[in-house]
């Protein structure tokens, strides 16, 4: 690209453009860095953990319920056998001393077995109660989190639409200003902006406002001797240096 020339007015428009571009970059940065976004990500992660925990607990509860009804069936069987044995005793069906002793000892051992099984059932019930209240806690937290997420998402959306509105205004202004800048100067500005983030800076009191370095005497003298329509660049940061009455030339 050959040396770009543009009227001082056109060059001044670049400062407005740079300001609007900085504003747009600030808004974009703010939008992407909204605290609600990180908050929601953390909440989503927690929701995932809770979902997994609910599935695990429900599975455990199902296993436990099956174990419990098995144990209850066992108790029932033992009880039935005891009743049958007792029935035989009460009906006086057994009279031989040896048979009587054997029946009584069987009843004794069945009672011990019943006691053991009942303890197992009790233990399973306690475990089930513990798991049920854990499940209640998990689902309560999940529901609470769901409500909170709706609130945070609404806050995020409100913040985003506010930012978008400001960005829309800045974009509109930028379009108007850009229309005032000759095409070749605008192209140069955009190229530098793409590479460095900021395309143009004011020369103020002998200092580039882009890289904040003072220009040396040689460079300053060269700028002094340049025609007003010459587009000058900072030797340090290569940005377009826009001359104003404050430039200290």
- The residue within the footprint of Zn ion, chosen from 177, 185, 234, 242 (CB under 5 A), is 234
Stretch that binds Zn ion, among 44-52, 175-183, 218-226, 232-240 (CB under 5 A): 232-240
For the bound state, the minimum distance from the C-beta of residue 174 to Zn ion, rounded and expressed in Å, comes to: 22
Q: Is 237 in the site for Zn ion (CB under 5 A)?
A: yes
Residue with Cβ nearer Zn ion (199 or 210): 210
Q: Find the binder of Zn ion among 211, 220, 232, 249 (CB under 5 A).
A: 211
Instruction: Tell me: does residue 34 bind Zn ion (CB under 5 A).
Output: no
DSSP string of 69-89, one letter each residue = HHHHHHHHHHHHHHHHHHHHH
Give the count of beta carbons closer than 10 Å to the beta carbon of residue 114.
18
Distances (CA, A) of 154 to 28, 30, 56, 145: 19, 17, 32, 14
Beta bridge mates, 241: 201, 232
Tokens of 242: 């826009």
The SS3 of residue 194 is helix
* Contact pattern from residue 163 through residue 202 relative to Zn ion, giving x for each residue in contact according to CB under 5 A and a dash for the rest: ----------------------------------------
Q: Which is nearer to Zn ion, 184 or 236 (CB)?
A: 236
CA distance 177 to 15: 10
How far is 134 from 115, CA to CA, in rounded Å? 29
210 is a site residue for Zn ion (CB under 5 A): yes
From 50, 208, 231, 242, residue interacting with Zn ion (rule: CB under 5 A):
208
Q: Point out which residues bind Zn ion (CB under 5 A).
A: 208, 210-211, 234, 236-237
């Amino acid at each position: 690209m050959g040396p770009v020339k543009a009227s001082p007015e056109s060059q001044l428009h670049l400062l407005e453009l740079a300001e609007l571009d900085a504003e747009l970059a600030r808004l974009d940065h703010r939008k992407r860095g909204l605290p609600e976004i990180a908050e929601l990500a953390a909440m989503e992660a927690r929701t995932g953990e809770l979902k997994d925990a609910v599935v695990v607990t429900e599975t455990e509860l199902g296993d436990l319920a099956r174990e419990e009804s098995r144990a209850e069936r066992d108790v029932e069987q033992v009880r039935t056998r005891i009743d049958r044995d007792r029935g035989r005793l009460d009906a006086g069906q057994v009279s031989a001393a040896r048979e009587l002793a054997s029946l009584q000892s069987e009843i004794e051992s069945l009672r011990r077995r019943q006691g053991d099984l009942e303890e197992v059932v009790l233990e399973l019930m306690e475990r089930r109660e513990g798991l049920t209240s854990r499940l209640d806690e998990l689902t309560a937290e999940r529901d609470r989190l769901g409500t909170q997420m709706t609130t945070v998402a609404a806050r995020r959306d409100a913040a985003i639409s506010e930012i978008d509105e400001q960005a829309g205004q800045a974009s509109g202004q930028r379009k108007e200003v850009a229309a005032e800048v000759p095409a070749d100067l605008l192209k140069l500005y955009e190229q530098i902006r793409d590479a460095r983030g900021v395309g143009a800076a004011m020369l103020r009191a002998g200092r580039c406002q882009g890289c904040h370095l003072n220009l040396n005497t040689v460079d300053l003298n060269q700028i002094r001797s340049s025609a007003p329509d010459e587009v000058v660049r900072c030797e340090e940061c290569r940005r377009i240096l826009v001359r104003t009455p404050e430039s200290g030339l």
